[in-house]
Structure 1
Amino acid sequence: MQENLITPTPSAYTFPLLIKQLLLNALSIHGDQQITYRGERRYSFRQFRERIGQLASVLDGLDVRHGTTVAVMDWDSHRYLESYFAIPMMGATLFTVNVRLSAQQILYTLNDSKAEVVLVHADFVPMLEEIQADLKSLRHVIVIADGEAVPANTLPVDGEYEALMVQASAEFDFPDFDERTKAATFYTTGTTGDPKGVAYSHRDIVMHAMSTAMSLCSPREGQRLHREDVYMPITPMFHVLAWGMPYIAIMLGLKTVLPGRYVPERLVGLRESEGVTFSHCVPTILQMLLQAADAQGMDLSGWKLMIGGSAMSPALCEAALEHGMDVFTAYGMSETGPIVSLAQLPPGYRPKDRQEEVRMRCATGRPVPFVDFRIVDGNMNDVPHDGKQQGEIVLRSPFLTKAYVGKPQASEELWAGGYLHTQDIAVRGQDGFVRIVDRIKDVIKTGGEWVSSIEVESLIASVPGVQECAVVGVPDEKWGERPMAFVVQKPDASMGAEGIRHALMAHVESNRISKYAVPAPDRIAFVAEIPKTSVGKINKKLLRERAVQ
């Protein structure tokens, strides 16, 4: 069969989906828009483009070429934003280093990525020195000193970031190349084995920006993003490219506020002083923002926050709504770009009560454009959209990662059957809204029934006096597994295990949960804090280990 293809005229320009194209509209229409670092340094989008050219010139002088990996170890700053563009626009690969990993894990990721150049904040110089003898590919180091003197060190330092930038030319010709070129890589923070490298091409990043922006900008009001918004990321820029949102903010021409290291008091202060209206974070950070605002008497009304990384409890959502915040869930994984669905309230939606509205905002939501979003049984058959039948979320989309770096077996397992397997168990209602029940590895099988750890967590979190909780399954001779709850109380609260059990039994009587979902008294532990992974997710593997000690 003859292919029905369009043959372009020889002079036609085939427009590649490259990161540099995200700057076109921003510079032509929003060149005077502002970027600020902690409210201490400000420059326009036009100056931002000049600094992108300067950074590329600096890296070119260090022999960074197409395919070279350049690692960044910094807090959320204007420098990081410059790296998001300059490095991949050269055809090199941006490696966003998770600075919260251990020194040995960082060593592994730097070697596995074959990073040749590292831009490192002075705060992380001692860590880099600690592992430098075992770094296999490192040739050059640029130290970021935030205006301070570069600390004495033994690294192969080529200079300080700003000092090198001042000497570099802003005129750098960023070439066209294949849109499938690897633009960025980072490493997942799994709780078992070595971190796995996830890579995205220019096409992946541009398509994700288009898809997510299309969803966020489409509602008339509520859970939306528009060109008058002021954007501040509160998801680390090393983690899944800050959910891809900095690229969207620049593409749309938004005032962008980079907060540096996350200090809750500074974050709510920047929200007030810079007029921030849109951010995104994990539930733990949201809790900290609420506490900091209460302590300082600050008004948070009108702040739109996408919440992801782990489930937002109804109690936390309710607390944010009481503060006047517009909070809603974004769902995805490191391997999915990451955003594949959003819990935006449907057009014309009028909840029958606050409880229903909270439930909708805490749901996984509905798929964004360009996502083939299925919930399937073990034979890859779609389950009914009745809000009851459970299955695994599997995906196809133009911006999902195609493979783990150097791990063919894990890559094939991720893409078994031609769909990306999320390992998340969910249900979908007739309205299209998806609700995650649990992770496959976190579902608890007890008394012959499957218990959702997420459901039990949300019910415990609604008990007055509970600040945070986590539920895991632990071995039990009689029942196979039983749920165990780790509970953090609010500072002024005082309760016992029976108080938690009494609250849960009320839900058993109303058929909300099974009796097997109620932890025994000796399976409710009151703790000072819930352990988290380096990106703020509850570390359930560590909790399971603690539970059986």
Structure 2
Amino acid sequence: MPDSLISRTDSAYSYQLLIKQLLYAPLANNPEQEIVYRDQWRGNYLTLRERICRLANALTRLGVKAGDTVAVMDYDSHRYLECFFAVPMLGAVLHTINVRLSPEQILYTIDHAEDDILLINSDFLPILDQIKGRIDTLKGYVLLNDEAQSPHSSIPIAGEYEELLAESDTHFEFPDFDENTRATTFYTTGTTGLPKGVYFSHRQLVLHTLGVVTALATPLSQGRLHRQDVYMPITPMFHVHAWGLPYAATLMGLKQVYPGRYVPDHLLELIDREQVTFSHCVPTILHMLLKSPLAEKIDLSRWKVIIGGAGLSKALCLEAMRKGIDIFTGYGMSETCPILTLAHLTPEMFDLSVEEQAVIRCKTGVPLPLVQLRVVNEQGGDVPHDGRSSGEIVVRTPWLTQGYLKDHRASEKLWDGGWLHTSDVANVDGRGYVKITDRTKDVIKIGGEWISTLELEDIIAHCPAVAEVAVIGQPDDRWGERPLALVVRREEGEEKAAEKGILNFVREYTEKGMISKQVVLLKVRFVEAIDKTSVGKVNKVALREKYL
């Protein structure tokens, strides 16, 4: 059938889906609504627009132009929110650096993304001092500082953020350009040692925002996001744009609260003082918050929380529900911008017992509007929606990364057959609720952060006492998972001494920045042999069944 394309009047305005369009509604309808950073800064949407323009002018004076890349290393702050808008609105690319990576990995991402300017919080200057002589691309540094005194550093700072903004004009005419222009880049780690760069266009971020708002704003009550909510992220803004929720909150004109560093009592104080009603975090953070004595003293019954990044246990869900928290699961990954599903309850589900509701809240959920999600077997066919048959989640939606930056082979594998492959194994029940049961990749997720078992095995295998090793993820109520090393020793000996030696050996690698510090949670178990498949590969399915 031939296409029937619409005809355009020559003078008609071609409305591109650009990030700048997300600012129009709050500026028109809720300009005085507050935006708060800790106890240090308080503004509103008019202030936000003004500061976005100031930042654009400041970056332009530093030589930033369309196509350049501006990187940020900061805690969750109003500054980060301003960068979410100003940088891509210039036509430049925002690179949100994962400050939890090792210095060597951060160096790799800076060079691989070809960053031109770096905005860096003073707390992270020591990381930069370790790698500064090997950075090839950066042309300038801007200091982000919460303290009155400027820190001492050998890094050539072009200026301090607030001073640069104060010197800049409050007006900037942001241009129109193609909505498919790349807006953001960040890096995800998985089974391989080098982080992979994912990227998203203006169009994708706008459509993801609209999809998230639609999904969150339409439920009757449970998990509903509305204009009277007060939003505070407790997911780092460097991680998939804080799940895209700052864009959604801005579009809706919500009061926004940015907490800076994640200190449990400080977060709880902000929730109480600013009357926060909507957040999202990984299970580890929620566990720490609920274990704080302060959690017993403040009212959390108005708080709605999306849990993602790792599986939500029924025990943690019930503990949160006992405090009146409206808790439910969201699912996605770095490659998916990220939100694909949400585990909202339907009205009739409120007739179920609390325990039965918790089971549903802990599921992966149902797809958002515009998300085409399938669970397929090895032949690519859909598995029955019986809550038992398992397969891999594959998806199509407008906001999926179109590949990995500068990595054609991995990109083709990701998009094999025209569907994005998540490597997550799941089933679907008769109501359409997805539940992840496993992962095809041999990675462990500790507090929402990926740890490569292959990388950890490689390190442990270098320990003189180790003949053979396999690492699997062990369920943990606090961290989601923690690594369990199954070790065949070279020689018989005292187990406690051997375990201590392995842990000290691994700790040396963490201190050198060669692997995430999260591996200090490693547990060691000595075994007679490592199960293998018929072709001699380590059989981790069998190991999980035997030891977990």
Question: Which range, TM-score by smaller chain?
Answer: 0.7 to 0.9
Q: Does the CA-based 8 Å contact 1:293-1:299 persist in structure 2?
A: no
Structure 2: give runs of 5+ residues left out of the alignment: 445-471, 489-498, 511-515, 528-548
C-alpha separation between the residues in 2 aligned to 1:352 and 1:153?
59
The one-letter code sitting in structure 1 at the alignment partner of 2:32 is D
Q: Does the CA-based 8 Å contact 2:191-2:443 persist in structure 1?
A: no
- Tell me what 2:130 maps to: 130
- Tell me what 2:181 maps to: 181
Matches within 5 A, 1:298-377: 298-377=298-377
- Tell me what 1:193 maps to: 193
C-alpha separation between the residues in 2 aligned to 1:256 and 1:539?
31
Q: Does the CA-based 8 Å contact 2:349-2:357 persist in structure 1?
A: no
C-alpha separation between the residues in 2 aligned to 1:443 and 1:23?
39
Where 2:280 maps in the other structure, the secondary structure is: strand
Where 1:184 maps in the other structure, the secondary structure is: strand
Deviation at 1:101, TM superposition (A): 1.0
Do structure 1's residue 392 and structure 2's residue 392 form an aligned pair?
Answer: yes
Where 2:306 maps in the other structure, the secondary structure is: strand
Q: Does the CA-based 8 Å contact 2:232-2:279 persist in structure 1?
A: yes
Go from structure 1 to structure 2 and tell me whether the alpha carbon gap of 1:78 and 1:443 turns closer, same or farther (over 3 Å shift): closer
Where 2:348 maps in the other structure, the secondary structure is: coil
The one-letter code sitting in structure 2 at the alignment partner of 1:98 is N
The one-letter code sitting in structure 1 at the alignment partner of 2:374 is R
- Tell me what 1:286 maps to: 286
- Tell me what 1:257 maps to: 257
Where 2:355 maps in the other structure, the secondary structure is: helix
C-alpha separation between the residues in 2 aligned to 1:398 and 1:142?
34
Q: Does the CA-based 8 Å contact 2:487-2:525 persist in structure 1?
A: no
Q: Does the CA-based 8 Å contact 1:268-1:293 persist in structure 2?
A: no
C-alpha separation between the residues in 2 aligned to 1:29 and 1:168?
26
- Tell me what 1:148 maps to: 148
- Tell me what 2:419 maps to: 419
C-alpha separation between the residues in 1 aligned to 2:372 and 2:97?
30
Go from structure 1 to structure 2 and tell me whether the alpha carbon gap of 1:154 and 1:542 turns closer, same or farther (over 3 Å shift): closer
The one-letter code sitting in structure 1 at the alignment partner of 2:410 is A
Matches within 5 A, 1:103-122: 103-122=103-122
C-alpha separation between the residues in 2 aligned to 1:386 and 1:539?
40
Do structure 1's residue 401 and structure 2's residue 401 form an aligned pair?
Answer: yes
Aligned length: 477
The one-letter code sitting in structure 2 at the alignment partner of 1:321 is M
Q: Does the CA-based 8 Å contact 2:98-2:187 persist in structure 1?
A: yes
Q: Does the CA-based 8 Å contact 1:442-1:472 persist in structure 2?
A: no
C-alpha separation between the residues in 2 aligned to 1:283 and 1:399?
25
C-alpha separation between the residues in 2 aligned to 1:3 and 1:199?
30
Deviation at 1:351, TM superposition (A): 4.1
TM-score normalised by length of structure 2: 0.83
- Tell me what 1:297 maps to: 297
Q: Does the CA-based 8 Å contact 2:95-2:184 persist in structure 1?
A: yes
Go from structure 1 to structure 2 and tell me whether the alpha carbon gap of 1:471 and 1:88 turns closer, same or farther (over 3 Å shift): closer
Deviation at 1:189, TM superposition (A): 2.6
Go from structure 1 to structure 2 and tell me whether the alpha carbon gap of 1:111 and 1:242 turns closer, same or farther (over 3 Å shift): same
Go from structure 1 to structure 2 and tell me whether the alpha carbon gap of 1:368 and 1:46 turns closer, same or farther (over 3 Å shift): same
Residue by residue over 1:346-399, the C-alpha shift from the partner in whole angstroms, topping out at 9 and shown as x without a partner, is 133234322210000000000000001000000110001111111100000000
Q: Does the CA-based 8 Å contact 1:39-1:274 persist in structure 2?
A: no
C-alpha separation between the residues in 1 aligned to 2:322 and 2:221?
19
Go from structure 1 to structure 2 and tell me whether the alpha carbon gap of 1:442 and 1:116 turns closer, same or farther (over 3 Å shift): closer
C-alpha separation between the residues in 2 aligned to 1:240 and 1:167?
31
Deviation at 1:21, TM superposition (A): 0.4
Q: Does the CA-based 8 Å contact 1:443-1:473 persist in structure 2?
A: no
C-alpha separation between the residues in 1 aligned to 2:243 and 2:383?
29
- Tell me what 2:272 maps to: 272
C-alpha separation between the residues in 2 aligned to 1:353 and 1:3?
53
Where 1:35 maps in the other structure, the secondary structure is: strand
- Percent identity at matched positions? 49
Residue by residue over 1:205-259, the C-alpha shift from the partner in whole angstroms, topping out at 9 and shown as x without a partner, is 0010000110000011011100000000000000000000000000000000000
Go from structure 1 to structure 2 and tell me whether the alpha carbon gap of 1:393 and 1:79 turns closer, same or farther (over 3 Å shift): same
Do structure 1's residue 157 and structure 2's residue 157 form an aligned pair?
Answer: yes
Consecutive aligned runs of 4 or more in structure 1 exceeding 4 Å deviation? 293-296, 471-477, 538-549
